[in-house]
Structure 1
């Protein structure tokens, strides 16, 4: 009996340590490949925002959130979340394209969505992000400024089409291009007003990638981008025959096959006015 008396506390202690280690390990696994970009705080919670780089850039950003309950020091598993990015300019405010926030199905405490920032912040103008969320029927709000940096290459473009509609076109993938035929995705949105940027459906994006430093040569086996109604973006195939800088010359056509923006690349016209850039 004395042996059991002394052994039981040891077993309980080991179990507690094991559970704690398992919890920490699960948390690490959930965040594998992600780095904290921003931390928001109010009286009840800390909302952590993660990206693959630990930063936010112009263009398309996949963002993962999780919510730490300050009272229990545990991450929330049953939240409903909405968010709104807002650019504060000297004379006006506007939003940008962004998705709903949904729970990552394979993880208990992570929530994900995307935001497309059309422009970076600067010394006098910048972005904020407001997050509204509900936990166990109680609503909360949290908001703070966020730092959006400018990318070296054009991965997002804002333009007015021949139909007088203002569009936002953003590069999504491949995140790591290879010398191969790559799956290519872009997001296309229209500006209904300063706060609303819905997805544009059933257009077509014609693709002509070129290497300006190599005689402006193209590549074989590219495929134009068509609307993916499930992912709600535009998918095609991008053939890259060598490493270096590529200009993705584009033409945007509406559902009636009418040209909205962009031109053919020819011997006398080296680039389309509608393009995005990659370098690898």
Structure 2
């Protein structure tokens, strides 16, 4: 009887020990699982995904990284993204205030071009963005420089360097004198990828107040008459003239493209007093307006 009791006590102790080991094992598995889940909740985000670096502009403290989707500057509209890297830590600055000044050096003068303010890119911590519209360049892309001024925690910095601005294949921007003796710059922003359809046409319109200032022109009208010079100069249906949008300070209209090929977008600029400042109607004797933009797809 005593032997049976001893065996029973041993079995009970083994069961208790097994349960204790099993409990510890479950706790360990749960802890590892939670640790893995925590890691998955904080994935590494590439804030410059889809962007190509154009170049870097550096000073002793920081490196300004400049990006867009093409990897270069061209005449016309350029959407630009910027990051500021601390040279000492290689960390990117999350809170900075930036401005910029593109400058074209001519033989006897210098001038800037239309540009936006720089703001933090929505949904990103270290990327800032804006646009620059280069209205001209030299044949080799030289002549331009870019200065970036910025402030971090109340301290002001600046960085500047020469940049290359390539000539676009088609006339996507033009600078002209209006009948009111003011110089204007118009630039096509969209469509980026034209298609056979009704395309959203978006352009920017700016007035040259001085060599350095190019404010947006508000509440004018830009008439649109797209033509295909290589196809009898035919037009297309369902186009609409461009009107001003006071939310983003740009002009919008409908551009009807009925086939692939080379198109001339004949324009007329009309001010808020209904006076024609530049451009003419396309007729049998006048195949192209003196104010136009081009695209080919």
Under a length normalisation based on structure 2, what TM-score does the superposition of the two structures give? Answer: 0.85
Preserved contact between residue 104 and residue 143 of structure 2 (Cα < 8 Å): yes
Match of 1:86 in 2: 103
1:129 aligns with 2:150: no
Aligned with 1:148 (options 165, 179, 183): 165
Deviation at 1:242, TM superposition (A): 0.5
Match of 1:95 in 2: 112
Deviation at 1:52, TM superposition (A): 1.0
Mapping 1:54-203, distance limit 5 Å? 54-122=71-139, 126-203=143-220
Classify 1:122/1:240 alpha carbon distance in 2 versus 1 (closer, same or farther; 3 Å): closer
Match of 2:52 in 1: 35
Q: Secondary structure at the match of 1:213?
A: helix
Task: Mark the runs of 5 or more structure 2 residues left unpaired by the alignment.
Answer: 1-27
1:196-220 deviation digits (Å, cap 9, x = unpaired): 1100000000000000001101001
Under a length normalisation based on structure 1, what TM-score does the superposition of the two structures give? Answer: 0.90
Deviation at 1:22, TM superposition (A): 3.8
- What RMSD over aligned residues (CA atoms) do the two structures have, in Å? 1.9
In structure 2, C-alpha distance between the alignment counterparts of 1:87 and 1:100, rounded to whole Å: 19
Aligned with 1:222 (options 209, 234, 239): 239
1:48 aligns with 2:49: no
Preserved contact between residue 221 and residue 270 of structure 2 (Cα < 8 Å): yes
Q: Which has the larger radius of gyration?
A: 2
Moved over 4 A (4+): 122-125
Aligned with 1:204 (options 215, 221, 228): 221
Deviation at 1:44, TM superposition (A): 1.1
Deviation at 1:92, TM superposition (A): 0.6
Deviation at 1:123, TM superposition (A): 5.5
Match of 1:241 in 2: 258
In structure 2, C-alpha distance between the alignment counterparts of 1:237 and 1:48, rounded to whole Å: 36
In structure 2, C-alpha distance between the alignment counterparts of 1:49 and 1:123, rounded to whole Å: 21
Match of 2:286 in 1: 269
Task: Mark the runs of 5 or more structure 1 residues left unpaired by the alignment.
Answer: 1-6
In structure 2, C-alpha distance between the alignment counterparts of 1:246 and 1:161, rounded to whole Å: 24
Classify 1:273/1:124 alpha carbon distance in 2 versus 1 (closer, same or farther; 3 Å): closer
Deviation at 1:32, TM superposition (A): 2.2
